[in-house]
Amino acid sequence: MYQNSLCPTDLGIIMSYQCQCACKHCLYNCGPHWKEWMSLQTLREALQATRNWHHRFQVHLTGGEPFLNFSLLLEGVRLAAELDIPCYVETNAGWCLHEDDVAAKFATLREAGLNAILISCSPFHAEKIPPARTFLAIRKALDAFGQQGTIVYLPHCLEQVQLFDVGKTTPIERYVERFGLKHAGRMLWDGYSIISGGRSGYALGHLTHRRPAAAFKGQNCFLEIVYAHHSHFDLYGNYISWFCGGLTIGDWHNLPQVLDDFRARRFPPLVDTLIRCGPFGLLEMARAEYGYQELDEGYAGKCHLCVDVRRCLHQREKFVELQPGGFYEDALWPGRQSLAQGDAVGPNDPIQDTKKE
């Protein structure tokens, strides 16, 4: 029996995958093309589902970008306060254009019971959001929530993004031009502790050392899936362990059943393979049964390998574990439009830029 499995101390509620940014490092493939939002009823159910846990935890309301639906975000904060669940909110600050608007929204959330706000800051966000907006969000968050309630993720990136004009967005390539690929790679990929899942392995893999699939043999995902301290419930009912975007371990509407299954070591088949054998085990199955072909240029990490194999599997068959379906839509990915045709992914293929704010 697994003791205390699936006991996250920080649970994210993904209210939507919609985001104005579509960052290259996004683990959930978020962007403006996603249109759906959690209903208020589903949000209430998601928060109430956490009643099945009796350990100490907090929730964060997130996306996508949760401020794109401020009325739902506000209701979520109110509900969390009613249920006495410590809560913080994440934002990319892309909406922070006017001081009065930012101050008013933060004050409203604080009055509704919000404890803290996390503001994203990195050169990857700064490709999409002029850092001046990030700084405005930080100033107003300090006014509303104080030092303790203002979390900048990551603080050392404040200095990095000020290397360029903070009134504009700056492509990652400017860092490579200024510092060289090796130094920029250490600064950006290692400095941010990039996880290679989602888009990042494809769009940013050139910033790190790529290795063949065999290098990941023996690296299982037991801890990430079974003992994740950070997990997510999304608007479609997917329970996503750790940061494994596009992989559901069950439906959080049936949380008691999911918890029972994990205690009894009953895992969905693909999840079972990942827990025991990691993505290389998944690759062996996909190669034998679905004709998966390895990427010639290698993989930026085990999660890059995992996502690439899962994309192949999703194209070939309907696997219940590969959710939400929108995560796998070809149009969202940099390069490799059709895995079925065995197209290669260019190392520096740019993702389609979306809305420049």
Contact residues for ligand SF4, defined by CB under 6 A: 19, 21-23, 26, 30, 63-65, 92, 120, 125, 197, 221, 224-225, 242, 244, 247, 274, 279, 302-303, 306
Rg (CA), the chain: 20
Comparing CB distances to ligand SF4, the nearer of 51 and 223 is 223
Show Cβ contacts of residue 310 under 8 Å, excluding neighbours closer than 6 positions: 246, 247, 270, 282, 322, 328
Show Cβ contacts of residue 249 under 8 Å, excluding neighbours closer than 6 positions: 6, 225, 239, 240, 241, 258, 262, 267, 268, 271, 321
Comparing CB distances to ligand SF4, the nearer of 224 and 234 is 224
**In the complex, least distance from residue 321 CB atom to ligand SF4, rounded to whole angstroms:** 10
Whether the bond between 131 and the residue before it is cis, its omega within 30 degrees of 0, is: no
Strand, helix or coil for residue 59: strand
Comparing CB distances to ligand SF4, the nearer of 144 and 309 is 309
Comparing CB distances to ligand SF4, the nearer of 63 and 326 is 63
Which of 150, 140, 157, 161 minimizes the C-alpha distance to 97?
140
Strand, helix or coil for residue 233: strand
**In the complex, least distance from residue 84 CB atom to ligand SF4, rounded to whole angstroms:** 27
Comparing CB distances to ligand SF4, the nearer of 5 and 83 is 5
Helices H / strands E in the chain, number of each:
12, 7
One-letter amino acid at 332 equals L
Which of 261, 121, 114, 246 minimizes the C-alpha distance to 192?
121
Burial of 218 (0-12, 13-18, 19+ CB in 10 A): exposed
**In the complex, least distance from residue 306 CB atom to ligand SF4, rounded to whole angstroms:** 3
**In the complex, least distance from residue 152 CB atom to ligand SF4, rounded to whole angstroms:** 14
Q: Which helix (H) or strand (E) holds 239?
A: strand 239-241
Comparing CB distances to ligand SF4, the nearer of 80 and 240 is 240
Comparing CB distances to ligand SF4, the nearer of 206 and 302 is 302
Comparing CB distances to ligand SF4, the nearer of 82 and 330 is 330
**In the complex, least distance from residue 216 CB atom to ligand SF4, rounded to whole angstroms:** 8
Q: Are 103 and 78 in contact (CB under 8 A)?
A: no
**In the complex, least distance from residue 356 CB atom to ligand SF4, rounded to whole angstroms:** 13
**In the complex, least distance from residue 277 CB atom to ligand SF4, rounded to whole angstroms:** 10
Distance CA 195, CA 234 (A): 20
**In the complex, least distance from residue 19 CB atom to ligand SF4, rounded to whole angstroms:** 3
Distance CA 250, CA 49 (A): 13
